[in-house]
Amino acid sequence: HRALVDAVAFDDAIRTAVEMTDASETMILVTADHSHTMTIAGYAARGNPILGLARSEVGALLRASDGRPYTTLGYANGPGAVCTAADNGACERGDLTDVDVEAPDYQQQSTYPMGSETHGGEDVAIFATGAGSERVGGVMEQNEIFFALAQSLGLID
């Protein structure tokens, strides 16, 4: 819940920046330095609440091989781990059937126990609008971003 609220706030900040600047003289570039290990579980029906339990097209709970439902969103690692070292390899994932997984303080289940969730390793998106934005797009190495900005500023050819 909190990660999605932050994403909406970020989107609002970008919208405000676009509204406050002149696209003919300002490039707004949006990217990240890393991803996170948030995952979207497969096969939830279109329109399924992103914070909810995964459901089929007819509204039935989707279940993992342990027979228990799972959330649409989860984490590969973090404090919500379903098993910990104290379990000595013998643990069961909690049954989420009657848990309010859409509550703001609900902590998504994760695979590996860690004090906090970590960075992911995949490519991150990069978007730009305004003056010089044609230099940005697709998959770019980080050092290429520097050159796109420097060219837009007229610092290099």
Element (H, E) at 29: strand 27-30
pLDDT of residue 112: 87
Q: Whole-prediction pTM value? A: 0.77
Structural domain harbouring 143: 2-33+124-152
> Could you tell me if residue 7 is inside a domain?
yes
> Could you tell me if residue 157 is inside a domain?
no
Residue 95 and residue 72 share a domain: yes
pLDDT of residue 24: 95
Residue 89 and residue 77 share a domain: yes
Residue 89 and residue 55 share a domain: yes
Whether the pLDDT of residue 52 is over 90: the answer is: yes
